[in-house]
Structure formats: C-alpha cells, structure tokens
Amino acid sequence: QVQLQESGPGRVKASETLALTCTVSGGSISGYYWSWIRQPPGEGLLWIGYISYSGSPYYNPSLKSRVSISVDTSKNQISLRLSSVTAADTAVYYCARVPVGDLHLDYWGQGTLVTVSS
C-alpha cells in the first residue's frame, strides 16, 4: 500500500522560508507526478504545484515566484520550499500522487499544519 507522509516545522516566522518533505513508502516515485496542495483553515484546496519523477516542475502562477518543488528519487522524497511567507500561507499542506496519463490525485498524505507567526 502506497503511503505518503509530510514532515517539517509546524511553525515558520514571517518573511522566512517554509520547507516541507514528503516521504513515499510502499511504491516507487517513478512514473508519477507528485503534487503539493494546501488548505488554509476553513477554506478550500489550492494546488501549489507538481513535479514529474524526472524532475520537471509546474507551479501555480499565483505562487510561482516564491515556490520550488524538487524530487529525490534515491530517498523517495519530494520537497516543497515556499519563500517570503506571510500569515496568508498558514495552511494544512498535503502531498499527493498523480498517475501519468490518468490525471487525478490517487493517493494523499495526511497533511501537516504550518502556521506562520509574526
């Protein structure tokens, strides 16, 4: 069974960089797109971006100037970095898998809450 687990600091100071890691177990990173999605408290879901297993990233235009997603196939990990954070970046951050050629989110992590403090 494929499992995704997000990890990283639960609190980040404003203006600093948020950094999260998603560790994939029970399956290979190859052959899939890997996504980061966030959900501010009480709000809807926002797709931050996704990366192919070969390392080509695609970012939400609204965050593109501040976001970076990378993949480490040797560790089965996908990383998210979001720079210059503000309170508006406080959210639950999810990683999720997208099968290539069958575009949908088939496996999700449990999510991790990141709070931006002043």
The Cα–Cα gap between 77 and 71 comes to 6
Residues 98-117 as x/- pattern, contact with another protein by CB under 8 A:
----xxxxx-xxxx------
Contacts of residue 98, Cβ cutoff 8 Å, sequence gap at least 6: 32, 33, 34, 35, 50, 104, 105, 106
Determine the straight-line distance between the first and last CA of the chain, rounded to whole angstroms: 40
Tell me the closest approach of the beta carbon of residue 42 to another protein, in angstroms.
10
List the interface residues with another protein, window 26-55 (CB under 8 A): 37, 44-47, 50
DSSP state, 89? G
Between residues 102 and 118, which has the closer beta carbon with respect to another protein? 102
By C-beta, is 61 or 74 nearer to another protein? 61
Residues that bind another protein (CB under 8 A): 37, 44-47, 50, 58, 60-61, 94, 102-106, 108-111
